[in-house]
């Protein structure tokens, strides 16, 4: 089939069929449109996500293969288990979404230009306010001694965010400022989702960190089948309420 790149209709939320996604770059499906909540939810509901850098056109992706973590295969190695037992961090859900996405955009380990541009941050903050985008925060208590008096402050040192439609969770980005902090966030997300029998996390694209945590690649067809089942899973009304999480 010839490679055709589609321009989205500003007046329609329709995306082209998956078989029209390019093989190079892998999964590029369409250009244009906007980041309205309606379009984002239509996209995520079909396993499509936006990804572009500042100055580029808005690009929509459906890669093949697709990276996922089967939650039962989430890899908590011996070193991480020891760190978890020491409980160095406090982990929360949906208590600082805007700060998490800002840290993800500015994460110092990113060597390339961030794709979490200002428009993306605004769009996902709107999804969060609508109850579709969620964050996990990892906090560390910092003690400061001033005039022989000790005061404690809570500092955000890691976290992640993503989009949830019923039992389908698509992870978007994560960050860390202390060793293992992003691993704590991912482990907490896995435990949270497993508590209501959600079986996998969509990771979109594989990278060495995710692979080390147990991510695998599956075909797009297999992913869409798993996603279809996940979207049919009921989630309790208060499941995503802001609260403290445990590991």
- The 10s digit of each residue's pLDDT in 117-149 is 999 999 999 999 999 999 999 999 986 666 776
| Domain(s) of CATH 3.40.630.70: residues in the chain | 67-245
174 to 86, 101, 109, 234: CA distances (angstroms): 22, 8, 11, 26
- CA 189 – CA 183 distance, rounded (Å): 10
| Domain(s) of CATH 3.30.70.3550: residues in the chain | 6-64
Over the stretch 32-79, which tens digit does the pLDDT of each residue have?
Answer: 999 999 999 999 999 999 999 888 999 999 999 999 999 999 999 999
* The two three-digit tokens of residue 20, written as one number: 């029209």
CATH code: domain 6-64 is 3.30.70.3550
| pTM beyond 0.85 | yes
Contact 160, 136 (CB under 8 A): yes
222 contacts: CB under 8 Å, gap ≥ 6: 66
Torsion of CA 96, 98, 103, 105, to 10 degrees: 150
Tell whether domain 67-245 is in CATH 3.40.50.10140.
Answer: no
Contact 68, 95 (CB under 8 A): no
Over the stretch 195-233, which tens digit does the pLDDT of each residue have?
Answer: 999 999 999 999 999 999 999 999 999 999 999 999 999
- CA 155 – CA 239 distance, rounded (Å): 25
Quick count: other Cβ atoms within 10 Å of Cβ 41? 16
């Amino acid at each position: 089939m010839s490679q055709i790149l589609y321009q989205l209709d500003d007046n329609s939320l329709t995306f082209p069929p998956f078989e029209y996604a390019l093989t190079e770059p892998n999964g590029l499906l369409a250009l244009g449109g906007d980041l309205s909540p309606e379009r984002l939810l239509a996209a995520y509901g079909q396993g499509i996500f936006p990804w572009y850098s500042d100055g580029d056109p808005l690009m929509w992706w459906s890669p093949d293969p697709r990276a996922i973590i089967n939650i039962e295969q989430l890899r908590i190695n011996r070193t991480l288990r020891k760190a978890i037992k020491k409980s160095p961090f406090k982990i929360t859900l949906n208590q600082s979404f805007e700060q998490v996405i800002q840290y993800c955009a500015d994460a110092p380990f990113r060597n390339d230009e961030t794709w979490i541009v200002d428009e993306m941050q605004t769009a996902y903050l709107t999804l969060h306010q609508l109850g579709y985008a969620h964050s996990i925060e990892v906090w560390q208590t910092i003690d400061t001694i001033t005039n022989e008096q000790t005061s404690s402050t809570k500092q955000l040192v890691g976290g992640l965010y993503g989009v949830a439609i019923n039992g389908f969770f698509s992870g978007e980005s994560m960050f860390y400022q202390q060793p293992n902090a992003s691993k704590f966030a991912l482990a907490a997300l896995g435990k949270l989702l497993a508590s209501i029998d959600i079986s996998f996390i969509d990771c979109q694209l594989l990278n060495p960190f995710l692979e080390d945590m147990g991510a695998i690649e599956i075909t797009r067809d297999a992913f869409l089948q798993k996603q279809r089942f996940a979207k049919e899973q009921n989630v309790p009304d208060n499941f995503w309420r802001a609260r403290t999480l445990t590991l």
